[in-house]
């Protein structure tokens, strides 16, 4: 069975050492970054090469292509897409058109990545931003400031993404919107009451709990676990993510290299899987770090195997063709808020 891990390559293409490593450990999937996206042809060739390493034509390949400031396939080489908050701005004018625009944007993002061999786009983000939170963490990456609007626009985005040939990932479970600092650099601690978390932060995730893949937050929620962040907390994964929210899809950790997590990479891997995560995300690791983190990993097994299979079963065949008319329609829909 594949290793419960997702890796990337240090350079624009896999080195001989990385190819041998991937062949040996057989990670469940891969993730790509801007350095792998010099052109559509380069990205497509890279994806083919990665799948050849593990001998699985359906090995999932992930990307973070949200639109706005979080993109790996960058303009002018690839089309620009608006930040999620733009769709929330349109919602205030016309909810029906906003939903259409979000669905169409999701479709075009799906086409953009899947045309190049990428099968998983780590959107939508369901975090509900709070007024005192660090705006550099969430900000315009959030669709809106209210959970019901977020859920509606995110649902439309998921539908569009699937129609475009890519799988969605809801993030960051159970909610990153109260973080006062960036988990890339330090551990956010949230002191909100359970009732407030349940009513506000968890609500969009409950609404989209049937999406087949999700990603945890490196955030500590004191009301549930005063010692461990969600990624490493059995209590939060079982009681909140699997329980209160009701998410039973394939659960990724956020990137294990982020500074919110302490301890060795091997321990982070081991603890994230022991807490109830299904697959660990290992981004921008050196070759030595890849080898280290693998010591704490195990093969995908049990419910994780079933969840992974159910997720991949949702991939849809897509008719490849021109998208220029769809982009024109999206621009027309967003015209009132893109002034």
Sign of CA dihedral 300, 301, 306, 307: negative
Task: Give me the residues paired with residue 6 across strands.
Answer: 29, 281
Phi, psi of 304 (to 5 degrees): -60, -40
- Is 254 a catalytic site residue? yes
The string of DSSP letters for 21-63 reads HHHHH-EEEEE--GGG-SSHHHHHHHHHHHHHHHT-TT--EEE
48-56: long-range contacts (C-beta < 8 A, 24 or more apart)? 48/117, 49/13, 49/14, 49/19, 50/9, 50/14, 50/22, 53/14, 53/18, 53/19, 53/22, 53/23, 54/2, 54/22, 54/23, 54/26, 54/27, 55/23, 56/2
- Is 184 a catalytic site residue? yes
Of the listed 26, 146, 182, 184, which one is catalytic? 184
Q: Helix count (H) and strand count (E) of the chain?
A: 12, 11
Looking at residue 84, the DSSP 8-state letter turns out to be: T
Of the listed 64, 89, 225, 254, which one is catalytic? 254
Catalytically active residues are 184, 254
């Amino acid at each position: 069975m594949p290793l419960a891990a997702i890796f990337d390559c240090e350079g624009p293409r896999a080195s001989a050492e990385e190819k041998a490593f991937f062949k040996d450990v057989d990670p469940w999937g891969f993730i790509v970054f801007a350095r792998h996206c010099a052109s559509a042809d380069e990205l497509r060739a890279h994806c083919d090469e990665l799948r050849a390493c593990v001998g699985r034509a359906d090995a999932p390949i992930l990307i973070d292509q949200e639109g706005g400031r979080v993109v790996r396939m960058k303009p002018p080489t690839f089309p620009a897409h608006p930040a999620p908050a733009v769709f929330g701005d349109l919602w205030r004018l016309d909810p029906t058109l906003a939903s259409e625009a979000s669905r169409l944007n999701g479709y075009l993002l799906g086409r953009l990545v899947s045309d190049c061999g990428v099968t998983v786009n780590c959107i939508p983000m369901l975090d509900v931003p709070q007024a005192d939170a660090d705006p550099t963490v969430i900000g315009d990456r959030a669709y809106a400031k209210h959970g019901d609007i977020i859920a509606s626009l995110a649902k439309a985005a998921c539908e569009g993404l699937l129609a475009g040939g890519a799988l969605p990932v809801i993030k960051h479970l159970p909610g990153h919107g109260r973080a006062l600092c960036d988990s890339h650099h330090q551990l956010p601690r949230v002191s909100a009451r359970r009732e407030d978390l349940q009513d506000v932060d968890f609500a969009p995730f409950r609404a989209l709990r049937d999406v087949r893949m999700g990603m945890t937050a490196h955030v500590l929620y004191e009301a549930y676990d005063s010692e461990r962040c969600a990624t490493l907390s059995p209590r939060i994964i079982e009681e909140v993510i699997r329980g209160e929210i009701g998410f039973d899809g394939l659960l990724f950790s956020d990137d294990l290299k982020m500074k919110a997590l302490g301890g060795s990479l091997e321990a982070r891997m081991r603890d994230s899987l022991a807490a109830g995560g299904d697959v660990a995300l290992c981004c921008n690791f050196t070759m030595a770090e890849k080898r280290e983190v693998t010591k704490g990993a195990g093969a995908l097994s049990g419910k994780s195997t079933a969840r992974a299979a159910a997720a991949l079963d949702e991939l849809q065949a897509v008719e490849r063709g021109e998208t220029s008319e769809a982009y024109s329609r999206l621009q027309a829909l967003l015209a009132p808020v893109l002034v």
